[in-house]
Structures are given as structure tokens and as C-alpha cells.
Amino acid sequence: MSGISGLPIIPMYETYIKNETKYADAAAKANPATQSAVSYFQSVASTLTTPQALLKNYRALQVVLGAFGMSGLINEQGILKQLLTQNPTAKNSLVQQMANPAYLQFANVMANWNPPPLSNAKTVASIVQNYVTNQFEVSANQQMPGMQAALYFTRNIGSVTTIPELMSDNTLLGVVQTALGLPMQFGLLNYNQQVSILSQQVDLKKFQNPSYVNQFVQKYLVLNQENSASSGTTNPLVNLIGGTSAFSSGTSNPLVNLIA
């Protein structure tokens, strides 16, 4: 599948990651809806001095949540209120219980209202840039399925330090599952079984290396395009939860060799 420039998905991915900000800004300028959303947010940001004020302003909230990849929570006022008001470092806070890297980033930026976070010009600019970037990735995905997850993964995987954090982000987990060739039935396993398998297969420290991330994402993009990537394989679910890993040296799964 090719992008709008005619490039296949891998060269297009490599082009985007070299300077995604440039492409995102250009796409935003060409999109009236994005421009309108950004302009409105910038015009009212300084007036949103309390969590309640932000929660009541749907248009501004759309931009803020969109910047953190949390648009799906737009109608979850109860959850958002807790994320906006609780100390994100407290062990009993909701964000610590959720263990989602995006939610934690959101709380770290937005939970301190003395002074209000949106009174800081740098914070507003960062939110706008992240919103524009996420909108660009959504658009890129419409042209090349898988691109949104690939770019999101590239930007965010480096901040993930534990397997539970990885599992709490469906996009990051989806990329890992596809790149490793884990069968669809992986999602049917219980939480501890999934943790065990991922702990064997994923070395999060390697994602600190941009070259490794690039190679890993390229594998995801290739396998994501192969609709039958996991069909017809000899990796039954029982192998995943048995005494040995389905991807141990005693099996013949070429996908492990690709990322070794």
C-alpha cells in the first residue's frame, strides 16, 4: 500500500519520523477544522483557571485530550476530574492505579492548578503541538493503515519502563503483539499469563535505542499489512501458556530472529 506521495509504507514512515513536526504543522495549516480547534483553544486557554472550567469547555477539552491521546475519555467526567485534581505521585491516586503512560503524562502536566497549567505559554504551545501531531497521525493512518500506531509507538515507547505500563496502552501493546507475531488469542489469556509471555519476549531497555525502535516498527508495519500473518501458523494458544515459550529456541518462529 502506498501513501499519497506514491511511496510505500516503510519509506513513508522513515520520511515522517525524520521530521514529523514539520509534516504535522503543514497538515494542520491545510486543515480548516484543525486550525479552528487550535485557534479557539489558544484564545481561551488563559481563562481556564480551574479543572471545572476545563471540563465544562468541550471544545477546549477536545484539544487537551487529543494532545495526550485521550480523546476516548471526553465524556468520562468522573475519571477526568480525578486525573485533574489528584496528586499523580500518590500511590492511591487513580492515575497510579491505571498505570497508563499517557494518562500519567496528562496528570503530571494538568493536575497542578497553582498556578493553572494553561496559564503557562509553553504548556499551551506543547499541547497545541501534540494535538496537531496526533491529528496528523490520524490522517496518515487513513491513507496508510498502521501508520498512526507506528508513529505513536515511535514517539512514546521510550518512556515505558515496565511490562504493566506497556499493557495499559492498547496502541503500544498492539504494535508489540503484531511485531512479535503473537496470535490473536493472546488477548484471551489472563493478565498474569500475558505479563509472563511479554516479560520473556520484550526487553524494554532496547527501546531506548532509536535504531532498534525503527527496526521493530518496520516489522510491525510489514506484518500489519499481511492479513494472514498469524493464520496458518503452528503457534496454538497452549504453547503460549505451557512450560516453554512458543518462541523459544526449540521452535521455528522466524519472527524472533528478526528482532534479536
Q: What pLDDT is stored for residue 184 in this prediction?
A: 84
Sequence-distant (6+) residues with CB within 8 A of 91 are none
Does residue 111 contact residue 83 with C-beta atoms inside 8 Å? yes
| 158 and 193 housed in the same domain | yes
Q: What pLDDT is stored for residue 226 in this prediction?
A: 87
Residue 86 CA to residue 122 CA, distance in Å, equals: 22
Is residue 233 one of the residues assigned to a domain?
A: yes
Cell of 245: 515459550
Quick: pLDDT tens for 179-211: 999 988 899 999 999 999 999 999 999 999 999
Residue 187 CA to residue 15 CA, distance in Å, equals: 33
- Please report which confidence band the pLDDT of residue 6 belongs to, taking 50, 70 and 90 as the band edges: low
Quick: pLDDT tens for 33-87: 999 999 999 999 999 999 999 999 999 999 999 999 999 999 999 999 999 999 9
Residue 48 CA to residue 42 CA, distance in Å, equals: 11
Identity of the residue numbered 167: M
Is residue 2 one of the residues assigned to a domain?
A: no
pTM: 0.83
Is residue 4 one of the residues assigned to a domain?
A: no
| 188 and 171 housed in the same domain | yes
| 122 and 167 housed in the same domain | no
- Please report which confidence band the pLDDT of residue 158 belongs to, taking 50, 70 and 90 as the band edges: very high
Query: Which helix or strand (DSSP H or E) is residue 80 part of?
Result: helix 77-85
pLDDT(249) > 80: no
| 88 and 108 housed in the same domain | yes
| 14 and 29 housed in the same domain | yes
Q: Which of 112, 143, 174 finishes a domain?
A: 143
| 203 and 160 housed in the same domain | yes
CA angle 165, 51, 91 (to 5 degrees): 35
Query: CA nearest 179: which of 151, 217, 148?
Result: 217
Is residue 217 one of the residues assigned to a domain?
A: yes
Is residue 129 one of the residues assigned to a domain?
A: yes
- Please report which confidence band the pLDDT of residue 241 belongs to, taking 50, 70 and 90 as the band edges: very low
3-class SS of residue 30: coil
Is residue 3 one of the residues assigned to a domain?
A: no
| 74 and 155 housed in the same domain | no
Quick: pLDDT tens for 82-122: 999 999 999 999 999 998 999 999 999 999 999 999 999 99
Q: What pLDDT is stored for residue 156 in this prediction?
A: 95
User: Which domain range does residue 203 map to?
Assistant: 147-259
Task: Please state, for a pLDDT cut of 90, what percent of the chain lies above it.
Answer: 80
